[in-house]
Amino acid sequence: MVTVLDRLAALREHLDHLRYLRPQVIDPEALRNDLSLRNNVLRSLQVTCQAVLDIAGELSVRRGLRFEGYAAAIRNLAAFSEFPSSLVQDLEVLPELRDLIVYSPAAPDFPRVVEALDGLEPIENFVEVVKEIEATS
C-alpha cells in the first residue's frame, strides 16, 4: 500500500527535478523542439499533480469528507484548518493541468506548461502542510 509519506517522497523528488530542469526551459519553443526535455518536464509535472491529487483524496477520506473527482478532493482541503484558503485556490488548477498533460500528450499547451514550471511554490507549500499533518497524526 502506498502511504501519504511515500507520495510525499515522490512529490519531493519530482519537484526537485522540475526545479533542476527549469533553467533549460528558455521558452515554450524549447519544450516543443526538445523531445527529451519535453518528456522530462511533462512526466515530472504529471507525477507532481497526481501526487497532490492523491494526497488530497487520502486526506479527505481520513476526515470523512466525500468527493467525486480530483477537483472536489482539492476543494475539500478548505475544510482543514491547516490549509490557508489562498493555498487551496492555488492548487485548484492541478486537476485541469494533469488532464491536459495526460490527455493531450501529442500537442500540450506549451505556454501553460512553462507557466506551471514557474508556479511550483503552492505545491512546495502543500508539501510542508502535509508533512505537518502527518507528523501530528
- Residue pair 17/44 in contact (Cβ under 8 Å)? The answer is yes
Give CATH superfamily name and number for 4-130.
bsu32300-like (1.20.120.580)
State the pLDDT confidence band at 122, using cuts at 50, 70 and 90. very high
Give the integer Cα–Cα distance in Å for 110 and 38: 9
Domain ranges of the chain: 4-130
- pLDDT tens digits along 45-81: 999 999 999 999 999 999 999 999 999 999 999 999 9
pTM for the model: 0.95
pLDDT at 105 over 80: no
Confidence band of 34 (pLDDT split at 50, 70, 90): very high
Cβ count within 10 A of residue 39? 12
For residue range 17-29, what is the model confidence (pLDDT) as tens digits?
A: 999 999 999 999 9
Of 120, 135, 132, 136, nearest in space to 52 by CA: 120
